[in-house]
Amino acid sequence: MVGRYLNDEGVVWSYIGLARDVLNWLTRHGFEPCRERSLEGGHSRARVVRARIGGDRIGEAVMSVLTRVSEEVGVQVVEGRLDGIEVSNNRAVGARLTMAIS
């Protein structure tokens, strides 16, 4: 397992279980994946999704979809560095940011 078995196995399986739904949501909102899956790193099977715009530019493609959908639904995007997450009763309730200055 990636992470040298230091991962919370329940969280890992939860993420794996959500992967198909997340990919379907991204695709419905404009993400264009390559049809073929890639083999990379220590994977035993080709299962890595790449963006049609240029393989390893998947982060750019995903952020493009997330930014556009966020704007459409009125989410205010704030850029900066995450310094900490406020937790109450085992739930994230806030974040401490250092704002980016342009």
pLDDT tens, residue by residue, 15-72? 889 988 998 999 999 988 887 777 777 777 777 777 777 767 888 888 999 999 999 9
- Please state, in angstroms and rounded to a whole number, the distance separating the CA atoms of residues 17 and 13: 6
Please enumerate in sequence order all residues whose Cβ is within 8 A of that of 72, keeping only pairs 6 or more positions apart, or say none.
none
Helical (H) or strand (E) element with 25: helix 9-28
Task: Pick the range with the lowest mean pLDDT from 1-5, 6-10, 84-88.
Answer: 1-5
> Which residues is 33 bridged to in the sheet?
51
Instruction: For the full predicted model, state whether its pTM sits above 0.85.
Output: no
Which of left, alpha, beta for 91 (phi over 0: left; psi -120 to 50: alpha)?
beta
pLDDT single digits (tens) 26-39: 999 998 888 777 77
